Amino acid sequence: MLDGLGGTQGTQETDVAPTDEVAGTGAPEMTGTARGARPALRVVKPLKRSRIGDLRMKVVYRVLAVAVVLIAAAVAVVAGLLPSGSAEQPDEGRPGQIAAPSTAAPSSGPTSSAAVPAAASNPTAVSSPTAVSSPTAEAAPAPDDSAVKAALADPRVPELPADKRLGRLPGKASSSKSRISDEKSGVSLIRFGKPWKPYGASPFATRQVLPPVRGAGHRAMLVSCPVPTLVQATLKDTALIAARWTLNHHPKGGRISWVASQPIKDGWLLAYKVVYKMKGKARSSMAAVAVTEVAGSKPALVFVTIPDSQRTRWRDINTVATSIRPV
């Protein structure tokens, strides 16, 4: 209906209180006390709400509280696991200490039998490097007789004769000036005067030679060195292997013919002829090897050979055999 004042439509009076829906919209609220009275309009301010999305603050607070509780529980679980893990780490390093090398120096003597039960009852001794590196374990095994069999199977080397002493060889003994001390081999021997003379030792330790003779096939020489072959169980067998080796210093095709086999001071002597051909003519050399025990790891070898073209010097082989001494 018209209010009669400005031709505007009036507002209908109501006694109903505004609901939350109306109040929440911010629309004007109509109030009145009597019918026919002009209603008074009052603007009601909307309620302030803090929203995260469409959620109320109360809901947000509850979510945050739950999250804080969960985080605190997780931290407590992790904190409970860390001490147990760190306590096990030192124990894991202890087995390595058992295998640590012993600081005690290894004994230079033979291992006693009392050390065997101790090593069996003590795991540390078993795992220690010093327990397995005794001097007796490093000793080389005794050689077998394979080298001797190989030497005797060589058609150039006959079976060793029964022990027989070297007789006086033909010729005249050379004069002697002094002695030669071979520190490398551990022996000393005679040093002949003229016509012998020292010569370049390589590949030996010492060497003396006679003047070369045309047609002889090789040069007379007296040398010393550590045994250049495999050491055998006995000095006699070692001398056999060394005699075969000396064929490398004789003319090609040389064959051994034994002359003597006898013990000498701290060693063994083999004397022999080496028979060969030079330009179709039979030739020979008188030779001898002496193997002597010395302080070194290998015996000493003294080797002398003189061709038949210088047979007047063969007596020097007797002198050499009796002159060998340990240094």
**For the chain, what are the domain ranges?**
1-47, 53-78, 146-326
pLDDT at 25: 44
Q: Which two tokens stand for residue 170?
A: 């033909």
Selection from 30-34, 128-132, 288-292 with the highest mean pLDDT? 288-292
Residue 32 structure tokens: 């009145």
Phi/psi for 116 (5° steps) reads -70, -50
Q: Whole-model pTM? A: 0.58
Q: How far is CA 307 from the centre of its chain?
A: 50
Give one DSSP letter per residue of 183-207, joined into a string: TTTTEEEEEE-TT-EE---TTSSEE
Distance CA 286, CA 320 (A): 13
Residue 326 is predicted with a pLDDT of: 92
**pLDDT score for 33:** 46
Element (H, E) at 305: strand 300-307
Q: What angle do CA 168, 326, 185 make, to 5 degrees?
A: 100
Angle at 57 between CA 56 and CA 62, to 5 degrees: 105
Residue 168 has pLDDT above 80, yes or no: yes
H helix runs in the chain, sequence order? 20-25, 57-98, 115-121, 123-127, 129-132, 135-138, 146-153, 235-245, 315-323
**Single-letter amino acid, residue 12:** Q
Query: pLDDT for 48-77, tens place per residue?
Result: 554 545 556 777 777 788 888 788 877 776
Question: What H or E segment, with its residue span, contains residue 255?
Answer: strand 255-264
- Per CATH, domain 146-326 is 3.40.50.450: no
